[in-house]
Structure 1
Amino acid sequence: MGRFDGATVLITGAAGGLGSSAAKGFASEGARLVLSDIDEKALADLAGMLPSETAILAGNVADEKLSGDLVGLAIEKFGRLDIAVNNAGIVQSFVRLPQVPSDEARRVLEIDLLGVFYAMKHQIPQMERQFKTSGKGGAIVNIASAAGLSGAPKLSVYAAAKHGVVGLTRSAAVEYASKGLRINAICPAHTRTAMVDSFVRVSGAPEAEALAELTRGVPMRRVAEVEEVVTAILFAADPANSFMTGHALAVDGGVGAI
């Protein structure tokens, strides 16, 4: 028997490294899935390999309509929404603040911050209604970043967006703590996903050298593996973890301890 048997789990950014691994993790523990990503083909490919009932809807989280449609899809297909993992996001160019193009800054904020706002705006009322009628609460897990807990040189706009995600998480957690919802954020440091691969390519340095530069301030001296971050996501969503809300959980190899 899995931790998430019968639960309906919504995941955005599901076709990426972190999202797809989270989808597999929830599916392996009995969840039914509602998945979204901007890459329609990759989303369909992922759904085809999962061992669980899965509904998909491609789109851009910067479009608020998608968030409403995803909640509607969960209700249409499975009758409820129990867990939401708001994971979709992008990163900015690795440059100092004045060099960030304004249109790029706007896009990062629209996807990384407003995308989470739109998602929660539509997920929370549905979960609150369910709690009122059945007494069964829901859980929202927002994927922030270690850059949302401290300064991040050459990632200023990304850090601002992720600080905003932590702020949304904590504020909404307090608003709905007595209404059956737990809302937490996961704050990973650099993780072995396409974002890190892109940094290595752009650096032009050998992989080992580029990763050493990227993790210079990490006490563990390495990037996180995707599975390590997914473990934290499942922990935050676990219904047995019923007294944790409003928390920004750092998965950062010790960065926050410095």
Structure 2
Amino acid sequence: MSTTIDHRVSLITGAGSGIGRAMAIAFAAAGAQVVAADLDQTSAEKTAAEIGDAAIAVAVDIADQTSVANLVQRTIDTFGRIDVLCNNAGIIDTMALPADMSIEEWDRVLRVNLTGTFLVTKAVLPHMLAQRSGSIVNTASEAGIRGGASGVAYTASKHGVVGITKNVAWSYANDGIRCNAILPGPTLTGLAGAAANFDPTGSARLRPIISLTERIAQPEQMADVAVFLGSDAAANINGAIIPVDGGWSAG
């Protein structure tokens, strides 16, 4: 089985920076046509321009159903199908402890990370069902299998992404659709800039777990796994929750 994805259409959210940008470039290098979707239109356009004629840029707010519907329609109008969906867009919380987490922050993080993943998946599934094929790759997190890798909102949202992944995989296993998730450990992305806003009490409590690894991964290392999962080489991998963390979760 080949890891090339020639002529397949890959829709990638959060493609304007970090892991999403690396995914878009990696999928294009593997032969895919790419939809670089991001809340920031300018960032999405920069990624698409770097790829060239095989990519388009679309602005999307994954937490808004109308915006998601427009994204999927633009993809279908341009390329006619969707073969791979990478649900990568997300935001981090302030690492506040549960008693200190505001309802506003909880709602915002869950709306983007969890509901956003569901909305894009729901909008894409009818097209994959019609063609009886498709691969969905969700970007979860180490916080999706741990209790001490982030704040309560981010942790809950990424546990939810793991649950969505398993349910979609089980629901559509007989329809030619696969759904898997990668769990990045510490990775050099734009989310690192949020550190200045971390809650000091929460981050101090979480530091013992976070400091267990000194390895900071590159976004390209996450993208390579996503390309594999989107390819025929992973044809029998469905419902897998795959840490891409240099062994952090093995400890």
Partner secondary structure for residue 151 of structure 1: coil
Tell me the equivalent position of 1:53.
Answer: 54
The separation in 2 between residues aligned to 1:48 and 1:10, in whole angstroms, is 16
SS in 2 for 1:234: helix
- Code of the residue aligned with 2:212 in structure 1: it is G
Which consecutive residues of structure 1, in runs of 5 or more, have no partner in the other structure?
Answer: 132-136, 204-211
* Correspondence for 1:139 among 130, 135, 156: 135
Structure-1 residue corresponding to 2:109: 108
Structure 1's 174 and 93: CA in aligned 2 closer, same or farther, altered over 3 A? Answer: same
Displacement of 1:51 in angstroms is: 3.2
Aligned counterparts, 1:18-29, within 5 A: 18-29=19-30
Provide the C-alpha distance between the structure 1 equivalents of 2:67 and 2:131, rounded to a whole number of angstroms: 21
CA 1:168 to 1:154, structure 2 compared with 1: closer, same or farther past 3 Å?
A: closer
Moved over 3 A (4+): 212-215
User: Is residue 163 from structure 1 mapped to residue 156 from structure 2 by the alignment?
Assistant: no
Indicate whether 1:3 and 2:8 are aligned. Answer: no
How do residues 74-223 of structure 1 correspond to structure 2 at under 5 angstroms? 74-131=75-132, 137-152=133-148, 154-199=150-195, 201=196, 215-218=210-213, 221-223=214-216
For residue 68 of structure 2, give the secondary structure of its aligned residue in structure 1. helix
Distance 1:6 1:125 in 2: 20
Q: 5 Å matches for 1:32-71?
A: 32-71=33-72
User: How high is the sequence identity, in percent, across the aligned residues?
Assistant: 34
How far apart are the structure 1 equivalents of 2:12 and 2:22?
A: 11
CA distance in 1: counterparts of 2:68 and 2:197, whole angstroms: 33
Instruction: With the length of structure 2 as denominator, give the TM-score of the two structures.
Output: 0.91
Q: Distance in 1 between matches of 2:248 and 2:55?
A: 37
Following TM superposition, by how much is the alpha carbon of 1:241 offset from its aligned partner in structure 2, in angstroms? 1.1
Which secondary structure does the structure 2 equivalent of 1:56 belong to? strand
1:41-100 Cα distance to aligned partner (Å, 9 max, x none): 111122112134222221211001222222212211111110000001000002212222
TM-superposed deviation, 1:254: 1.7
Task: Give the number of equivalent residue pairs.
Answer: 242
Using the size of structure 1 for normalisation, the TM-score is 0.88
- Structure with the greater relative contact order (CA < 8 A, sep ≥ 6): 1 or 2? 2
> What is the RMSD computed on CA atoms of the aligned residues?
1.9
